[in-house]
Amino acid sequence: MLGKLRVFWQRVSEGVAVQQLWAQIHADARMSYQLYAKDIDSTRQEGESGWGRIWRVARGLFWAMMMKLSPPRRVLLLIALITLVLPRIQFARGDVNIDSTALHFWGALILLGLLLLELADRVTMKRDLEIAREIQSWLMPSSAPTVAGYDIAFASRPANTVAGDYYDAFFRNDETLLVVVADVAGKSIPAALLTATLQASLRTLAALPGSLPELVDRVNRFACEQSLGGRRFTTAFLAELEPATGRFTYINAGHNLPVLRRASGVTERFEAGGLPLGISAGRKYESGATTIERGDLLLIFTDGLVEAEDMQSVEYGEERMLKQMGSLNNLDAKEALSRIMSSVDVFVGAARQHDDITCLVLRRSSS
C-alpha cells in the first residue's frame, strides 16, 4: 500500500521536491493575485477601518475573478457558492424531506464541472500556443552564422509560450553581417504575430541595396503601418559588422543600451539612434560606429534581462549584469551567454518570469 502511495505521489508531483512545489505554488499565487488585483486600489481610504478595507479588497477580487468567466459560468459559480455556504437545514413536512447536505453536494459538483470546463479551455489554448511556438521557432535562427574570427551565440526565453522578442544575425552581402535584437511591445500572441511580421519585412528589406540608416528607415515606415497608431511599437538594436576590419555601425531604436566590454576592461554603451520603430514614419535615425577589437565581448539584450525580479520584487538590474560581464574574460560566446543566463536564474530563484529574455553575445577572437 505504501509503495502504491509513493508511485501515486511520484506521478502527481513528477518527482519535484516538496520545497520546490511550495515555491512554485507561492509564485503562481502571487502572479494570480497580481493579475486580479492590478485594477483594485488596495490602499486604505481616508476614514476606512481595517476590516472595511479587507472587505472592499475581497469584494473587488471576487468581481475581478467573476468577470474573467463567461456569463453562463458566472451564473454557475454563483449557484455553486450559494449552495456551499448555506447552513445545514433539515426540514420535513408530510412526505417531503429537505436536507441541505444534498445542496452542498450539488454545489461541489457544479464547482468541479466549472473546473473541468476551464481546464478544457486551457488545454485547447495550450495546444494552439504550442503550435504557434513551433512556427515561431522555425522563423528564428536555430544556430548562429559562421563568421571567421568571431564567435556568436544567442538565447531567447519567453515569459509565456510564445515571445515578443526577435533576434537574428545574417549576411546582408559578402562583406557585412547584420545583427538584430528587437522587443515588440506586449507579450504572447499579439506580440508574437508582430514579431513574425517584423522578421519577414526585415529579411526582405535587408536584401535591397542601401546603407543601415536607409534600411532602418524602410523598416520603420513598414512598422508604422502595422503599429495601430503607435500603440504597437518595437524597440530594436540593428548593426552591421564588417568582419575583416571589425567596423561596427549601429542604430539604437529606443532599445536597451548594449554593452561592449573591451579586452582592456573598458566598457562602452551604444546610444545613437532614435525612437522605437512604429511611432513616427518621418523620423530619421542617427547611426553610430565603433570598431570591435580582438578580445572584445559584445552583449545585446532585451529589458527582460535587467528587469527580471526575485521573490521580493527586486530587479536583477544593470549593475549585476555589468558585474557579471566583468567575469567573462577569455570565455567564448556560448560560455559567456550561459554564465549570464545562469546568473539571472540564480538571482530570481523560484519567482515566475514576467517578461521575455533575449540575449545575443558576440566575441572577437583574440588571436
pLDDT of 265-307, one tens digit each?
899 999 999 999 988 888 889 999 999 999 999 999 999 999 9
Q: Name the band, by pLDDT with cuts 50, 70 and 90, for residue 35.
A: low
User: What is the model's pLDDT at position 191?
Assistant: 75
pLDDT of 142-153, one tens digit each?
788 899 999 999
Contact criterion met (CB below 8 Å) for 305 and 359: yes
Q: Name the band, by pLDDT with cuts 50, 70 and 90, for residue 258.
A: very high
Q: What percent of the chain has pLDDT over 90?
A: 34
Which set of grid coordinates corresponds to residue 80? 455553486
Mean pLDDT to the nearest integer, 66-92? 79
115 φ/ψ angles, rounded to the nearest 5 degrees: -60, -40
Integer Cα distance of 18 and 217 in angstroms: 54
Nearest to 84 by CA among 115, 116, 52, 112: 112
Highest-scoring range by mean pLDDT, 74-78, 185-189, 273-277, 297-301: 297-301
Integer Cα distance of 107 and 111 in angstroms: 6
Mean pLDDT to the nearest integer, 157-163? 77
Integer Cα distance of 223 and 182 in angstroms: 12
User: What is the model's pLDDT at position 174?
Assistant: 78
Q: Name the band, by pLDDT with cuts 50, 70 and 90, for residue 136.
A: low
User: What is the model's pLDDT at position 283?
Assistant: 81
Contact criterion met (CB below 8 Å) for 57 and 39: no
Nearest to 364 by CA among 238, 243, 269: 243
User: What is the model's pLDDT at position 179?
Assistant: 94
User: What is the model's pLDDT at position 311?
Assistant: 81
User: What is the model's pLDDT at position 142?
Assistant: 79
- CA dihedral defined by 341, 319, 328, 352, rounded to 10 degrees? -10
